[in-house]
Structure 1
Amino acid sequence: MKGTLLRMTVSVLTVGTLVTSPLMTSAAALAGEGNGGLVSHAAGHATHQDVSSSNRLAVEAKKPNSINITKHTIEKTIPEAKIKVEYPQVSGLKNRAAEKIINTLLKTKAETFVANSIKEAKASQPSPSGNPYEYLGTYKVTYNENGVLSLLLETYAYTGGAHGITIREGLTFRLSDGKVLTLDELLRANPNYRSIVDPEIAKKLEETEGYFGNFKTIGPNPSYYVKDQGVVIFFQLYDYLPYVFGFPEFYFPFAKLLPPGADPFDFKSM
């Protein structure tokens, strides 16, 4: 598996425009990626938004968080598998209890992935290819401003066959207390935001060749992360499209989802 490169595409809705960008996963790529970046991610894709000045949000004034984010690594090599997981830890928060909550959650997720990988590798031997399995974990910081830290976590497992399987998870923390924010909480100024995103996502999926045809709604707790002046709602591999399309991602600016002047990062109302 070492040196093998997996290529997919990521579908992104940017104010009604469908954009694709390459997605790559491999042990070699992970070894060459610095600063805790994702091996496989769409966070670097170009996005644009068409927002009139009268409808801009107060959040446009960037307020970078005064925190430190360091990369930690867990590596395990056993006869059945090679495992490498990178995960972030934060420091410099005024609320040390919140800092501990965030770090404990992120570390626990990494350790759980390692433990589950070892268990799976040992239970499913011999390997179909005769080679050790491969498990990778990494992350991307997608937003670190206005008292919010948003991360995109990714785990990859290759246990034989044509390709491995990658799973993504978005986590958005409120730094004042370490709370993980749901999309409903972030967009609380518009409880009916699904009436905007559901039809647009459905339309883009229906326009994509190979669409499975089963999308109805993003549901009660959609996967998302914060990026730029909005959010990216995403789905897992195979949820609605064939593997070759990668992770369907749909970017919506806050100005499209919230009333004029609403600030998703003003938590006084929560």
Structure 2
Amino acid sequence: MMMWRICRIGLCLLAAVLLSAGIMLEGNVSAEDAALGSGVQAEQASFAGTAQATAAAEQGVKVETRTITKSLPGASIKAEYPHISGLKSKSVQRKLNSHFKARAEDFVKKSVKEAKQNQPSPSGHKYEFLGSYTVTYNKNCILSLYEQTYAYTGGAHGNSYREGLTFRLKDGKLLTLDELLRANPNYREIVDPAIAQQMQQTQGYFGNFKTIGPNPSYYVKDEGVVIFFPLYEYLPYVNGFPEFYFPFSQLLPAGANPFDFTRHK
């Protein structure tokens, strides 16, 4: 009987030890699971943040149209200009918006002066001054557009002027074509003969094109650039603004990214 009691006591002690060990083991596994879960959540949060930042860069900034109008006896003036929002750097955003607004105000001011100086219209038609813009690229931290103005002060038709503007949204820098295509300083050796050939094949070509010059007019479109020229410079008015599209793959070395300014500044 005594031996049986001793065995029962031993079995109870063993069960208590095993039960305690089981509880400790279960507690350790739960802690590891919790740590693993926290790590997974942290990775997911990091990935989500990176994905959101990438998506924001690809989508670009929000662009809305603002308008300045002016009405004079015998003349109407209207200037539309872009106003951006959603840029991470608010100082750059203010800088660009001030730039766009100032350009529109300057156009209106000059139009008012011209309208007053030339009144009344010799033809009797009302003078018209219009300013507009077209966004051609808005992603990868690049905003590219062209502004176009139109002035009718009599005659068979009005006159138009166009200017391309490409900005690096990181700091608001206005980029020249040389800066955008910095990976190939000799890109003119590609575009000059190509443009000359297309010009020569166009009816009404005036001749005399040799090179795009030191600071050509351009804007970014799709996966390349459009180089353009003023009215009447090489072709008749009916041809509009002569435009020539070149994909980046034709102008830059393989693998070069024109929007990556971390390697070439």
Per chain length, whose mean CA-contact separation is higher, i.e. which structure has more relative contact order (CA < 8 Å, sep 6+)? Answer: 1
Bin the TM-score by the shorter chain: 0.7 to 0.9
The structure with the greater share of residues assigned to helix is 2
- Does residue 147 of structure 2 align to residue 153 of structure 1? yes
Whole-Å separation in 1 of the counterparts to 2:243 and 2:188: 16
Whole-Å separation in 2 of the counterparts to 1:63 and 1:96: 15
Question: Residues 35-46 of structure 1: matches in 2 within 5 Å?
Answer: none
| Alpha-carbon displacement from aligned partner over 1:54-112 (angstroms, at most 9, x marks no partner) | xxxxxxx9952342111100111000310111100111111112112211111111000
- 1:78 is aligned to 72
Name which one, 1 or 2, has greater alpha-carbon Rg.
2
Structure 2: gaps (5+ residues):
1-54
Whole-Å separation in 2 of the counterparts to 1:134 and 1:66: 34
The structure with the greater share of residues assigned to strand is 1
Using structure 1 for the length normalisation, give the TM-score: 0.76
- Does residue 54 of structure 2 align to residue 69 of structure 1? no
- Does residue 138 of structure 2 align to residue 144 of structure 1? yes
Structure 1 residues 242 and 194: alpha-carbon distance in aligned structure 2, compared to 1, 3 A threshold: same
- Does residue 120 of structure 2 align to residue 126 of structure 1? yes
| Cα-Cα RMSD | 1.4
Whole-Å separation in 1 of the counterparts to 2:208 and 2:180: 27
Using structure 2 for the length normalisation, give the TM-score: 0.77
Structure 1: gaps (5+ residues):
1-60
Would the aligned equivalents of 1:80 and 1:122 in 2 still touch at CA under 8 Å? no
Give the match's secondary structure for 1:64: helix
Would the aligned equivalents of 2:61 and 2:84 in 1 still touch at CA under 8 Å? yes
Runs of 4+ in structure 1 over 4 Å off: none
Aligned pair count reads: 210
Aligned residue identity for 1:93: L
Would the aligned equivalents of 2:230 and 2:241 in 1 still touch at CA under 8 Å? yes
Q: 198-207 or 88-97, which moves further after superposition?
A: 88-97
Whole-Å separation in 1 of the counterparts to 2:57 and 2:247: 18
Question: Residues 22-61 of structure 1: matches in 2 within 5 Å?
Answer: none
Identity, % of aligned pairs? Answer: 65
Decide which of 257, 260, 267 is 2:254's aligned counterpart: 260
Aligned residue identity for 2:75: A
Would the aligned equivalents of 2:77 and 2:108 in 1 still touch at CA under 8 Å? yes
Would the aligned equivalents of 2:199 and 2:205 in 1 still touch at CA under 8 Å? yes
Whole-Å separation in 1 of the counterparts to 2:58 and 2:146: 18
- 1:197 is aligned to 191
Whole-Å separation in 1 of the counterparts to 2:137 and 2:63: 12
Aligned residue identity for 1:103: N
Aligned residue identity for 1:237: L
